[in-house]
Amino acid sequence: MKNMKNRFKKYLFCFLFLTATALYAASGFVVRHIEIQGLHGISSSTVLSYMPINIGDRLDTAKSNEIIEALYETGFFENILLSKRVNTLVVKVKQRPIISQLKITGNKVITSDNLYKGLKTLGFVEGRVYDQSVLENIRKSLEHEYFVQGRYDAKVTINVKKINNYQVVVAINIDEGKVAKIQKIEIIGNQAFSENALLKQFKLSPSNLFSFFTHNDQYSKERLAADLESLRSFYMDRGYIRFKILSHQVTIDSARQHVYIVVRIQEGGQYKVKTWKVSGQLILPKDQIEKLITIKSGDIFSRQDVMTTVKSIQDALGDKGYGNANVTALPTIDDQTKQVSLNFQINPGRRIYIRKIIFSGNYRTNDETFRRNLEIQEGSMLSTTKVQKSKRFLMLLRYVSNVDVSTEPVPGKPDQVDLHYNITERGAATIGGGIGYSVLDKFIVHGELNHPNVFGTGNSLSVGVMKSRSLLSGNIDYYNPFYTKSGIGRDISLYANKFNSEKANITDYAMNSYGASLGYNFRIAENDYLNASAGYENDVLKIGDMPSKELKRFVDQYQRHFYQMILTAGWTHQGLDRAIFPTQGFLQDLGLTVSVPLSSKHSLEYYKLNYDGMYYHPLYKQFIGQLGFHAGYGEGYDRFTRLPIIKNFYAGGIGSVRGYDGNTLGPKDSNRDALGGNAVMDGSVGLIFPNPLGQNVRTTWFFDFGNVYNKPSLAVKTSTGLEVDWLSPVGMLNFVLAKAINANNKKDDTRIFDFAIGASL
């Protein structure tokens, strides 16, 4: 209706103009000047830029119509009148008002920034011409946004207040209403599987105890579509290739507070694989391709298995340079025998080569630093596996937060592409600190200067200090991951420590240490690294007024000042899927430390072997199994008949056998303090629970076992309990509730509750 009124006005003014100029319209006139009247806030030059006429053009009836049509199309004006004064074209306009202020109130779920962005796409922002005809579209658009989020009773009210003839204030008031909750989901037509089994494929669910955290009871069209696709995949992966979703109905009650969902399905019977074959241009040996197909005759048909096979063949071709290979699985379905024959049709396309490797987004780090982390080079064949490996290696750099990779065809070169890595860098130098607390160390204060990308080279420099109840330490470390072109990294480290063992629950002594080391490491496989270092260590031992017999005997025999060279060698396998809260993979560390005497009387002579392993494996749904194991063994040599007492192993507490006080397991000295031992063994079996509180919280049931030994023994301490780890905005928080299973009430120090808190400043 409003559009019809606007058109009527336009044609009415055209009629008036034609009537007023009837005396000269037939012949027209040459325009020598153009005068615009009635403008407020819009310049004459802006209006002239829209008018299809220039000085020196002849104005006639047709041109007049074009001018009026063009000016109305701008949306700036509601009235336009053309007239002549001598050789001057006079354009008199009445502007629509300008939006001087746009206010949005009442919104919480959708932020004001997002709402303003949405209005901007409709051209409805402050400083733009006010067009009343778009108000209804704006109201409907905003209510639709809330409708999509399940807020069916949301209401949007728009009030317009005129300040003067040229300005208006638009106030949008939003009543977001309440979220409609899913009351029931029903599946009709299922025979092979129970409704409960099918509903487990849905993320949407009726309201329950955890809905407050998961919000899975809030309906949205997109979430239902995703759940229906999950249902389809469930059937297609179990042989029901003819499965259909006949309909899905969503009903809202009269109060718009409850949602009822009914899904009607047709299962269609279960099908098995009859046979399969490969066809097309194979490129690779046929037997090599056939090894990639794990589907067997007689297997229940699975769409996921077919997709996995297709991807395996595409990846194999991609590794040979056929990055655009097309593999299609064509099924032939026999409905009578309920069998499916598969034809994997291969079209490899052209072999693709890399012309250039381009980096973008990096404003701190030079290209060469990134290039040396790649598995692929310019001029080589495009390998999809190497491209993705290179992306992973870039993501492992501490100064990179994200990497997007794409290929761009080279114009005129169908067999070449440019490989493009778009890098998002993290901030370089950081100055931070922390305050933490643990039952063992009490308050922990630390500070750190860390630059992981010095001068954009990828080299790192860190300086740190830490103070706890038992330890005061400082260190400086400089690491060059590509000290040589072959990829050998070099690490230079300096450190100084002041340790008080009495406050760490172990035999009473204090020791000041300082030293330096030079180390090298290199990658020997995708996830495997070797490292070796040589260093100097200087230790000064102090004992209290009432030392244990063991400690006094050690000092009497070996004195208190020691300096020696420390040699280390190790192997690391990093196979976890992520650094924090991993869900699958294997992490292993194996290390050897050997001291080399620099003095016949003032050197410690010993060696230590350490092994650490951690394994995660998804079990069912979001349940994850966890296995951990640590073992260490050490001995003295030459004048030391056993491992020096100040290098002993300890166990107990968080990170070891929970339920026992930190460092208290194993042999005791004559003062009944923990003495430690030359061997340690501890491990853990855990079950990680699905957590409705989000990805930053992890709850684990554990069974711990272990002990410290000075001689061969089968004695093992055990415990069980729950640990809750929370990656909070102020750092990682660990809370442990544990029960020591076989503690000796007279000898063992147990702890039911333990915790550690770290905070980043």
Q: Report how far apart, in Å, the C-alpha atoms of 37 and of each of 42, 44, 212, 279 are.
A: 11, 9, 61, 76
Task: Evaluate whether residue 466 is within a structural domain.
Answer: no
Q: Please choose, from the candidates 511, 568, 563, the residue with its C-alpha nearest in 3D space to the C-alpha of residue 534.
A: 568
Beta strand segments in 212-271, E: 244-252, 258-266
Bridge-partner residues for 402, per DSSP?
Answer: 424
Q: Tokens standing for 92?
A: 């008199």
* Location of structure tokens 């049931």: 701
Residues 188 and 251 in one domain: yes
pLDDT at 2: 47
Flag whether 451 is in a domain: no
Question: What is the predicted pLDDT for the residue at 633?
Answer: 97
pLDDT band at 252 (very low <50, low <70, confident <90, very high): confident
* Final residue of a structural domain among 175, 192, 213: 175
> Residue 453's pLDDT is what?
65
> Per-residue pLDDT tens for 724-758?
988 776 557 788 899 999 988 778 888 888 776 54
Question: Over the stretch 601-620, which tens digit does the pLDDT of each residue have?
Answer: 899 999 999 999 999 999 98
Q: For residue 28, which of 105, 116, 106, 87 has the smallest C-alpha distance?
A: 87
In a domain, 624, yes or no: yes
- Give me the pLDDT at residue 523, please: 85
Are residue 538 and residue 660 in the same domain, yes or no?
A: yes
One domain, residues 641 and 692: yes
Q: Is the pLDDT of residue 107 over 90?
A: no
| CATH assignment of the domain containing 163 | 3.10.20.310
Structure tokens at 111: 């932020």
> What's the confidence (pLDDT) of residue 437?
46
Task: For residue 365, tell me if it sits in a domain.
Answer: yes
Q: What is the mean pLDDT of residues 93-116?
A: 83
The pLDDT value given to residue 533: 96
Dist CA 319 CA 306 (whole Å): 20
- My answer on whether 558 and 598 are in the same domain is yes
Q: Please provide the average confidence, as pLDDT, over all residues in the chain.
A: 84
Residue 13: per-residue pLDDT: 47
pLDDT 10s digits, 291-344: 999 999 999 999 999 999 999 999 899 888 888 889 999 999 999 999 999 999
Quick check: is 446 in a domain?
Answer: no
Among 8-12, 96-100, 111-115, 336-340, the minimum mean pLDDT is found in: 8-12
Task: Identify the domain boundary among 390, 408, 425.
Answer: 425
Q: Are residues 170 and 210 in the same domain?
A: no
Distances from the Cα of 489 to the Cαs of 93, 170, 460, 481, 561, in angstroms? 75, 63, 11, 4, 33
- pLDDT by residue (tens digit) across 329-386? 999 999 999 999 999 999 998 898 999 999 988 777 777 778 877 888 888 888 888 8
Question: With the C-alpha atoms ordered 665, 667, 668, 674, is the resulting torsion angle positive or negative?
Answer: negative
- On whether both 752 and 619 belong to a single domain, the answer is yes
Whether residues 621 and 738 fall in one domain: yes
Q: Predicted confidence band at 596 (pLDDT cuts at 50, 70, 90)?
A: very high
676 part of a folded domain: yes
Residue-number span of the structural domain to which 755 is assigned = 503-760
Numbers of helices and strands, H then E, in the chain: 14, 33
Position 156 pLDDT exceeds 90: no
Quick one: how far is CA 564 from the chain centroid? 45
Same domain, 27 and 105: no
Closest CA to 575 of 365, 358, 396: 396
pLDDT tens digits along 409-437: 899 888 899 999 998 876 545 554 445 44
Within a domain: 379: yes
The whole-angstrom separation of Cα 246 and Cα 388 is: 40
Q: Which of 318, 347, 376 is the last residue of a domain?
A: 347
How do 258-266 and 181-188 pair as beta strands?
A: parallel
Has residue 251 got a pLDDT over 60? Answer: yes
Residues 71 and 106 in one domain: no
Query: How many structural domains is the chain composed of?
Result: 6
pLDDT mean over 563-588: 90
Please report which confidence band the pLDDT of residue 101 belongs to, taking 50, 70 and 90 as the band edges. confident
Q: Under 8 Å CB-to-CB from 428, ≥6 apart: which residues? A: 364, 399, 451, 452, 453
HSE-CB for 382 with a 13 A CA cutoff: 29
pLDDT of residue 452: 63
Q: Are residues 170 and 186 in the same domain?
A: no
- pLDDT confidence of residue 440: 46
Q: Which residues contact 123 (CB under 8 A, 6 or more apart)?
A: 131, 134
Tell me: do 359 and 324 sit in the same domain: no
Mean pLDDT of 588-601: 94
Residues 40 and 102 in one domain: no
Residue 468 domain-assigned (yes or no): no
Strands in 339-347's sheet, in edge-to-edge order, are 272-280, 339-347, 326-334
Give the pLDDT mean for 276-290.
91
pLDDT of residue 688: 94
> What CATH code is carried by the domain that includes residue 570?
2.40.160.50
Q: CA-based Rg of the chain, rounded to a whole angstrom?
A: 38
